[in-house]
Amino acid sequence: MTQTTGITITGVSGRMGQMLVQQVSLNADTHLAGAVERGGHDWVGQDLGVAMGGAALGVIVTDDAAVAMQDAQAVIDFTAPIATIGFAKAAAEAGIVHVIGTTGMTAQEIAHLAAPAERAVIVRAGNMSLGVNLLTLLTKKVAAALDEDFDIEIIESHHNQKVDAPSGTALMLGEAAAEGRGVALADVSDSGRDGITGARKRGDIGFSAIRGGDIVGEHDVMFAGAGERIVLRHIASDRALFARGALKAALWGQGRKPGEYDMLDVLGLND
């Protein structure tokens, strides 16, 4: 029998964590190797399947990342920036692939991933879906083709429990647009409009965030010129697509050289 890839999941009680558990069980190439929750959580010490309200899975939820990773070949992490930095160190020590779907990371926090990436494969993306990554490429190309007579606006919508804004995907699209124009996003980002803001600054890349209900994820990139608009759109209706993308990244990373990668690498779309 062919050996499957062991996957450890962090933040396993969350909506993405539980979705990942389901997708690991459905994927013929993977099996669940470990489950992590924060210290003091009710699930710690319980069988994961029982904690999820089903049959026992034989995997005990732990708050010790090193223990959870000892029999794994990859860890998938949709948690919080500080937690992700710690998991990156643990994954590097274990020598396993670290797939990061955590959003809201600052440049300083991302910089902490450089040292672990010297020892292990890290795949980090603001969004794990094929469609969004194609949208990223299109955004870069359209931004490169149009000059600053076209204002760029990125409009994103998510459920009412999302804690960061703009979303990681919106920022990824903003980075692509800025790269297409040959500028740094930090120099042209406009995400704080409120009150009397004055006229829009030429060349800025604007962000708008909508939060409500159970919206999985919607992203529009609008290029607005005089008398015309170009709108690129992606709508996610099932968050399972993010879990499937993360599993694809975990499998892709097996046998790769240590380093930092993204989903464009996984999908073979990088230049």
Residue 244 near residue 76 (C-beta atoms within 8 A): no
Residue 159 near residue 212 (C-beta atoms within 8 A): yes
Residues 81 and 207 occupy one common structural domain: no
Q: Tens of pLDDT along the chain (271 residues)? A: 459 999 999 999 999 999 999 999 999 999 999 999 999 999 999 999 999 999 999 999 999 999 999 999 999 999 999 999 999 999 999 999 999 999 889 999 999 999 999 999 999 998 899 899 999 999 999 999 999 999 999 999 999 999 889 998 999 999 999 999 999 999 999 998 889 999 999 999 999 999 999 999 999 999 999 999 999 999 999 989 999 999 999 999 999 999 999 999 999 887 6
Residue 271 maps to a domain: no
Residues 77 and 158 occupy one common structural domain: no
**Residues classed as catalytic:** 158, 162
Residue 148 near residue 202 (C-beta atoms within 8 A): yes
Q: How far apart are CA 158 and CA 265, in angstroms?
A: 26
Residue 182 near residue 143 (C-beta atoms within 8 A): no
The pTM score is 0.83
CATH number, position 248 = 3.40.50.720
Residues 14 and 115 occupy one common structural domain: yes
At 35, is the secondary structure helix, strand, or coil? strand
- Compute CA 213 distance to the chain's CA centroid, rounded to the nearest angstrom: 21
Q: How far apart are CA 30 and CA 109, in angstroms?
A: 30
Using a 10 angstrom Cβ sphere, with 0-12 exposed, 13-18 middle and 19 or more buried, the burial of residue 92 is buried
Residues 218 and 249 occupy one common structural domain: no
**239 contact partners, CB below 8 Å, separation of at least 6:** 15, 16, 19, 216, 217
What pLDDT is stored for residue 213 in this prediction? Answer: 97
Residue 67 maps to a domain: yes
Each residue of 45-60: b (16+ CB within 10 Å) or e?
A: ebbbbebbeeeebebb
Q: How far apart are CA 245 and CA 47, in angstroms?
A: 26
What pLDDT is stored for residue 103 in this prediction? Answer: 86
Residues 118 and 10 occupy one common structural domain: yes
**Domain range for residue 152?**
130-236
What pLDDT is stored for residue 271 in this prediction? Answer: 61
Number of structural domains in the chain:
2
